[in-house]
Structure 1
């Protein structure tokens, strides 16, 4: 695990992929992979959302990288720290291992939104595509053959901005609330699917 020098990006690359431009399955964490808990800092509160496990399993089987990209504004707001985040991640990795699925990397941005004291232009906070682009550079990924699963319009907007062709909005977390806004993102280069 590494934290960038200025503290604006945490990355944990857990596996290596063969050279070549591999596609990836990008996943939001809270509300997509695990049940939504505001400002989650307690590992005991981590509960997997079973509906995405099949997506991860299939991506693992197909040799696609599986990458978590998550906004963690609770860190930037001072509600919890990187140690708490790491403990939650460790619990998540343990639960996923018990389901026989593998996460290749996790990227986390601590910036709150601008209206909550965050920077006006964060490179990494979704809907900016920085975490996806950084993952593509680190893991040699082909963004043009990748997809993102998320529960919010900002997840899918990050995917679109990174050049992904597909965004899948899950109904968990904020998915029901953001369904209409997510559909507006669709165009000839970016497909939006709800489920």
Structure 2
């Protein structure tokens, strides 16, 4: 896709656990990695439409000692390698928060979702247009992070949300249950946005 010089590219920011992959708590073993149904193919369709693909993940297991930085790096590489091999998807980035939440469960840093820091940093680093981007995640913390960063947000309703704490920044633009629906919504929006 050709863009004018200096223009910024839209992105699909994707949560990892419960959204891109089946959630296995504190997993850092590539052998236990299993995609959500149709997720790689969906990312491929979105990438073909010109969106950058950025995985955005909270990883408190690092701070809690559940796995090492080297183990998590192997998992990150496995995700990137498998997406490319299985669906031709080249990730623009894979950003993560290595911090545990505070004692009250709230973020103790600016990068743990629902804080928007990871998305904003990735947008600055890669020249991404947050207003033209989407955040897809299985919890309302993902939705809030996306909305606070200036993106539209989809709740991928795979059962990850258990608290349902409401608020204006926690209201998704769409609540969908499969990746085919996600692709349809994101790409339909791209068509509507054309002049």
TM over 0.5: yes
Secondary structure class of the residue paired with 2:28: coil
Find the counterpart in structure 2 of residue 51 from structure 1. 38
CA contact (8 A) 2:58 2:98 kept: yes
* Structure 1 residue corresponding to 2:143, chosen from 156, 165, 178: 156
CA contact (8 A) 1:123 1:129 kept: yes
2:26 maps to 1:39: yes
CA contact (8 A) 1:27 1:149 kept: yes
Gaps of 5+ in 1: 1-17
* Structure 2 residue corresponding to 1:133, chosen from 120, 123, 147: 120
CA contact (8 A) 2:116 2:145 kept: yes
Find the counterpart in structure 2 of residue 76 from structure 1. 63
For 1:171 and 1:74, the matched residues in 2 are separated by 23
For 1:183 and 1:119, the matched residues in 2 are separated by 15
For 1:120 and 1:55, the matched residues in 2 are separated by 30
Most deviating of 122-131 and 100-109 = 100-109
CA contact (8 A) 2:107 2:113 kept: no
For 1:102 and 1:20, the matched residues in 2 are separated by 21
> What is the aligned length?
171
RMSD in angstroms over aligned alpha carbons? 2.3
Following superposition, the deviation at residue 77 of structure 1 comes to: 0.6
Following superposition, the deviation at residue 114 of structure 1 comes to: 0.4
Gaps of 5+ in 2: 178-195
2:72 maps to 1:90: no
Secondary structure class of the residue paired with 1:128: coil
Find the counterpart in structure 1 of residue 175 from structure 2. 193
**Residues 150-189 of structure 1: pairs in structure 2 closer than 5 A:** 150-164=137-151, 166-175=152-161, 177=162, 180-181=164-165, 185-186=170-171
Cα 1:120–1:95 shift into 2, 3 Å: closer
Scaled by the length of structure 2, what TM-score is found? 0.79
For 1:91 and 1:182, the matched residues in 2 are separated by 35
